Amino acid sequence: MDQLDPHFASTLTRRRLIAAGALGAAGVAVGQGATGQGPGFPGKTGLVTLRARPPLLETPLGLLGRDVFTPNDRFFVRWHWADIPTAVDVRTFRLRVGGHVAHPQALTLADILAMPRIQLAAVNQCSGNSRSLVGPRVAGAQWGHGAMGNARWVGVPLRHILDRVGVRPGAVDVRFGGLDKPLVPQAPDFLKSLAVDHARDGEVMVAFQMNGEQLPLLNGFPLRLIVPGWFSTYWVKALDTIEVLARPDDNFWMAKAYRIPTAPHATVVPGAKDFPTVPINAMPPRSWVTSLDPGQTVAFEPTIPIAGLALGGAHGVAKVDVSSDGRRWYKAVLGPDHGRYSFRRWDARVPVAGQGPVRLMSRCWNTAGEVQPFAPVWNPGGYARNQVEVTTIVAA
């Protein structure tokens, strides 16, 4: 397993946390340092290190399945550039909001905390989640299924911040940037944009709290953009700039990177070129068996219990069907509904024909009628995979 650079790890543990006078009203922990330290990554435990710099840390699927909400210390990490913030002085930190607005402002954390706030549950899923399973293989971080997590987020609706600065007529996009920077000057800053109407929908938020605690530094402290229902490339971490644009955003990360085919399920024939694309956007429905690991041996019984997680993407989970042979399907029982953007637990029993390999499958429908396809999803970026997944176990 790769280890984090010692200097990087030591500076990360010495980060300055928010002072009592700033976050007391938010009910956020106050203190210094980090607990639950994993191998080289303070505040993280039990994660798989895909890359140390920038940090790419994956949550094992079995850990994800223990609860609908992912504990902060088990929440996956994905940064684009290696120069990520290892300390934030909250006294001098400012969220700068400008561009095509009437009153540009540099907001303090106290300004943010004084605004009306909302809470919602939402899954944060990397665009390339499950890329290691794509065939033919594609370039990029070789994630398993664990580049995702679900949390209760608390923050300020972005709409309130935009209203405060006065978006001028003719605004088209809203662009977001964070404290992470490329190591070489010619590389483009990581910037993402939303259409102005989406940015003002009342659910997109600037969050400062995650699962009842302040944001971990590795997950975007002190502020993070939350775009519920959309892939996490838009969830800009360590958010420090918001710029309203009077034209469509044509920066590299919108015009060139993170784009998917316009074809159904974002799928093209391997090797295809010159097909139309759009920026990746809303997540499609997905589901997983989490109660049993691939290759696990279980005692043979005529039926066995299985359980897992489902997400509806930009819509709620409507139903989940399960199978142990790919031919006969059975309705799973859904757990409590924590909101349209949250994971939802499911439970079921499936028949087992006899001893030997058993192929377990789950298939999710969302409330918009979208359903996981059986056919493989393939595109050159390894993005937006949502086909029915197979977990093969052994009955003995």
Give the total residue count for the chain.
396
- The mean per-residue pLDDT over the stretch 87-98 comes to 96
Which 3 state secondary structure label does DSSP give 207? strand
Enumerate residues 6+ apart whose C-beta is below 8 A from 273. none
pLDDT attached to residue 185: 86
Residues 358/348, Cβ–Cβ less than 8 Å: no
Contact 238, 88 (CB under 8 A): yes
List Cβ neighbours of 192 (8 Å cut-off, separation of 6 or more). 175, 176, 233, 234, 236, 253, 254
Please state, in angstroms and rounded to a whole number, the distance separating the CA atoms of residues 232 and 236: 8
100-109 pLDDT, tens digit each = 999 999 999 9
29 has a pLDDT exceeding 60: no
Please give the mean pLDDT across all residues of the chain: 91
Q: Which helix (H) or strand (E) holds 298?
A: strand 297-298
**pLDDT tens figures, 262-275:** 999 999 999 999 99
- 37 pLDDT tier (thresholds 50, 70, 90): very low
Per-residue pLDDT of 48-89, as tens digits, reads: 999 999 999 999 999 999 999 999 999 999 999 999 999 999
- Secondary structure letter of residue 11 according to DSSP: H
Q: Is the pLDDT of residue 15 over 70?
A: no
Helix residue ranges per DSSP H, the chain: 6-13, 20-23, 61-64, 109-113, 158-165, 196-199, 252-255
Mean pLDDT of 189-197: 98
User: Averaged over 214-236, what is the pLDDT?
Assistant: 98
CA quadruple 200, 206, 212, 217: dihedral sign = positive
The angle at the Cα of 88, spanning 85 to 93, to the nearest 5 degrees, equals 120
pTM for the model stands at: 0.90
